[in-house]
Amino acid sequence: MYNLIQLSNGLRVVLEKIDYVNSISVGLWVKNGSRNESKENNGISHFIEHMLFKGTDNRNSKEIAECIEDVGGQLNAFTGKEATCYYIKILDTHLELALDVISDMLFNSNFTEEDIEKEKGVVIEEINMDEDSPEDVLVDLHNEAIWGEDPIALPILGTIDTVKSFTRQQIIDYVDSHYIPENCVVSIAGKFNENEIVNLIESYFGEWKVNNKEITHYSKPPMLTNHLFKKKKIEQLHISLGLPGVEIGSEDAYALLLLNNILGGGASSLLFQKIREEKGRCYSIYSYLSSFNNTGVVTIYTGLNPKYAVEVINLIKEEIIKFSNSTISKERLIKGKEQLKGSYILGLESTSSRMFNNGKSVLFLNRINKPGDIIKKIDNIDNDKIKKVMDITFKQGIINSAYVGQDIDLDLIKILVEKDRIPFNNSSTTLI
User: Catalytic amino acids?
Assistant: 49
Question: Which distant-in-sequence residues (6+ apart) come within 8 Å of 381 by Cβ?
Answer: 254, 255, 258, 333, 336, 337
Residue 166 CA to residue 11 CA, distance in Å, equals 28
Residues 341-370, buried b or exposed e (16+ Cβ, 10 A)?
Answer: beebeeeeebbbebbbbbbbbbbbeeebbe
- State the angle between helix axes of 134-147 and 113-131 in degrees (0 to 180), rounded to the nearest 10: 90
CA dihedral of residues 24, 72, 32, 297 (deg, nearest 10): -80
Name which of 48, 26, 234 is nearest 136 in CA terms. Answer: 234
| Cα gap 61→123, rounded to integer Å | 16
Is-contact 22 16, C-beta < 8 A? no
Cβ pair 34, 151 in contact under 8 A: yes
Beta strand 400-405 with 237-244: parallel, antiparallel or unpaired?
antiparallel
Quick one: residue 89, left, alpha or beta (phi over 0 = left, psi -120 to 50 = alpha)?
Answer: beta
Three-state SS across 267-333? Answer: CCCHHHHHHHHHCCCCCEEEEEEEEECCEEEEEEEEEECHHHHHHHHHHHHHHHHHHHCCCCCHHHH
Q: Cα(72)–Cα(70) distance, rounded to whole angstroms?
A: 6
Reduce the DSSP state of residue 247 to 3 states and report it.
coil
Check residue 55 and report its DSSP letter.
B
Contact yes or no for 36/216 (Cβ under 8 A): yes
Closest to 81 (Cα-Cα) out of 177, 165, 158, 163: 158
Residues in a beta bridge with 91: 23
